Amino acid sequence: MGQLLLQGLLWAVIFLGSSVPNIESSEYNPFPGITDKKFIDDCVRIHNANRSSVNPPARNMLYMTWDEGLAITARAWARHCDFQHNIYLKEVRRVHPVFSSVGENIWAGYPPSTFSVMRAMDLWVKEVNDYSYQSNACRPGKMCGHYTQVVWATSYKVGCAVQICPNGVDRTSFSDKEGAIFVCNYAEAGNVVEMLPYQNGLEECSSCEGANNQCQAKLCHDPKRDEQKSYRWTPDWDPTLATCGPCCMAILAIRPLALLLTFVAAFGVHRLYPSIFFYE
């Protein structure tokens, strides 16, 4: 009798210990993720194409490469579906594990099918028509900051993410319709006040800094600086971290306890009935 009871308890504990709550979000997202090769290539290639061909020409424009950390931050912010700058952007270590200054460009549109990296970046880059390099000024009432960030000489890392927003993108004129948001983050940050985005000069790469520089398509490319780095890091404000509700939290708390109980119970049963696990 006691043996049966113990056996029952044992099974109950094992069952509890192995129940796995589904904490993965089942959100539908038709867009490429931040590890998608084509997506990464589109983002990097279009940025560099525009950086190579600035007018007037640049002599210190750095080659831009992908950064996983920036892409992780861009994704976390895009998940908010809110058309405003990341509210943590100025807080060191909350938007990147290494870089202390991070810049940002955002595009939003609807329906989601209107998104492509090219289309979003077109809107940013065409601000050049309202921008004067000579006076480092933007036409009154216009925006030029997206353009100047794209061609900011010292911003040599970029990471972007695109997110579907089934309930609309906040702070847009289409916030009640299914839309999409595209975020790019940059390091070092551009758009430092009173500074020109790059140094003008006819001789491309003539002001590249560092001994390892190679001139690549008029851009300063340093293989060491441009190395790909991997970060096992998530910003603490990523909304997907908060999707575990009270019930899910309870199960998460019970699991290690149940596992411990399993061992204690098995040990106890074995001590009380040494032969229980042997069937002769």
**By C-beta, is 182 or 237 nearer to ligand NAG?**
182
**Least gap, CB of 26 to ligand NAG (angstroms):** 33
**By C-beta, is 133 or 231 nearer to ligand NAG?**
133
Q: Which helix (H) or strand (E) holds 44?
A: helix 37-52
Q: Which helix (H) or strand (E) holds 40?
A: helix 37-52
**Least gap, CB of 211 to ligand NAG (angstroms):** 29
Residue ranges that bind ligand NAG, judged by CB under 6 A? 46, 49-50, 53, 118, 121-122, 125
d(CA 68, CA 235): 13
Residue 276 near residue 10 (C-beta atoms within 8 A): no
**Least gap, CB of 150 to ligand NAG (angstroms):** 8
Handedness of CA 170, 173, 175, 179 (dihedral sign): negative
**Least gap, CB of 120 to ligand NAG (angstroms):** 7
Question: What are the beta bridge partners of residue 62?
Answer: 220
**By C-beta, is 51 or 59 nearer to ligand NAG?**
51
Helix (H, G, I), strand (E, B) or coil at 248: helix
Strands (E) located in 91-143: 103-109, 131-132, 137-138
d(CA 260, CA 267): 11
**Least gap, CB of 126 to ligand NAG (angstroms):** 8
d(CA 8, CA 241): 36
| Close Cβ partners of 203 (under 8 Å, ≥ 6 residues apart) | 59
| Close Cβ partners of 280 (under 8 Å, ≥ 6 residues apart) | none
**Least gap, CB of 13 to ligand NAG (angstroms):** 59
**By C-beta, is 148 or 262 nearer to ligand NAG?**
148
Strands 157-165 and 179-187 come out as antiparallel
Residue 47 near residue 150 (C-beta atoms within 8 A): yes
**By C-beta, is 53 or 243 nearer to ligand NAG?**
53
State both tokens at 113: 């099918």
**By C-beta, is 53 or 84 nearer to ligand NAG?**
53
**Least gap, CB of 58 to ligand NAG (angstroms):** 13
**By C-beta, is 83 or 124 nearer to ligand NAG?**
124
